[in-house]
Amino acid sequence: MTTPQFPCRLRFRPESEEDANALKAQIEPALGADRLTLINPAPGGADDSEKALHQMGGRIWEFEARSTEEVSDLLGVMAMIANGQQILRTVDLAEHFTGDAYADKKARAERVTGLLGSEHRSARLGYLTYMGLEDDVPGDPA
């Protein structure tokens, strides 16, 4: 298992504006308001239907994690959101992010759990449960 490199950028896609607002409300006091960035705001000339589609799962957020603890905290905050399982299923390193909750989920899970290290086993198991995977992802810190 390789050593996680920090800081790193994690991207994810909430399913709705309500989920995005709930997540933002939880992240800002716990991890800092400057750490969460909407990377694809709705285009300025978008009509109402385009804006509505954007608000319904089209927004991509980015978070800069500076430690294994922050990755663990971020995953924990996501799990507290009503539809957090959908957010958790899309989390990935920015350079690998697709926004898809199902394609390549094992590879995505390896990347995310690799950031947690062995000291965050509870966060790792919780995340893998949301992903629908057994705790058998390669690199499992036993």
What digits encode the pLDDT tens for the residues 83-94?
899 899 999 999
* Local structure of residue 9 (DSSP, 8 states): E
Q: What is the mean predicted confidence (pLDDT) over 44-69?
A: 77
- 96 three-class SS: helix
Find tokens 């499992």 and name the residue.
Answer: 140
Quote the tokens at residue 45.
């000339």
DSSP collapsed to 3 states, 38-86: ECCCCCCCCCHHHHHHHHHHHCCEEEEECCHHHHHHHHHHHHHCCCHHH
* Local structure of residue 134 (DSSP, 8 states): -
- The yes-or-no verdict on residue 79 having pLDDT over 90 is yes
Q: What percent of the chain has pLDDT over 90?
A: 46
Handedness of CA 81, 131, 50, 95 (dihedral sign): positive
- The yes-or-no verdict on residue 102 having pLDDT over 60 is yes
pTM score, two decimals? Answer: 0.84
Q: Which pLDDT belongs to residue 65?
A: 95
Q: Which pLDDT belongs to residue 30?
A: 82
